[in-house]
């Protein structure tokens, strides 16, 4: 699948408030993942992702955690390098 983005010079730019909100959300997700992996011996990515999905994280966009998949994987691989092999594209965030 391919996506083509057409960007116009006059297109709206992200506001500083939106960028700060995004940064706070990323930090909240990282803190929650750190909490999850530090309080459990079962740090398989699928398990961490399921526990993360059941967390109440403020500020998520309409697509929820699915839109933060790349960030979640990056944080998980940094915090649990020995479990990096458990990250698989077959895990899908269920937003229902």
List the CATH number of the domain containing 32: 1.10.10.430
Per-residue pLDDT reduced to its tens digit, 28-68:
999 999 999 998 777 888 888 899 999 889 999 888 888 99
Predicted confidence (pLDDT) per residue in 2-28, tens digit? 889 888 888 888 899 999 999 999 999
Structural domain harbouring 36: 17-86
Domain assignment of residue 5, yes or no: no
Instruction: Report residue 58: phi and psi, to 5°.
Output: -75, 145
Residue 76 forms part of a structural domain: yes
* pTM across the whole model: 0.77
The rounded distance, in Å, linking the Cα atoms of 45 and 67 is 17
Is 92 part of any domain?
no
| Secondary-structure percent of the chain, ordered helix, strand, coil, rounded to 5 | 55, 0, 45
In this predicted structure, what is the pLDDT of residue 30?
96
The token duo for 31 is: 């803190």
In the structure encoding, which two tokens stand for residue 59, read together?
A: 């500020």
In a domain, 7, yes or no: no
Instruction: Judge whether 64 lies within some domain.
Output: yes
């Amino acid at each position: 699948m391919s996506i083509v983005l057409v960007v116009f010079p006059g297109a709206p730019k992200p506001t500083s408030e939106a960028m700060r909100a995004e940064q706070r959300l990323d930090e909240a997700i990282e803190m929650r993942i750190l909490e999850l992996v530090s309080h459990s011996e079962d740090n398989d990515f699928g398990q961490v992702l399921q526990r993360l999905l059941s967390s109440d994280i403020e500020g998520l966009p309409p697509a929820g955690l699915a839109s933060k998949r790349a960030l979640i994987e990056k944080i998980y691989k940094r915090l649990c390098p020995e479990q990096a092999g458990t990250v698989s594209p077959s895990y899908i965030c269920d937003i229902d």
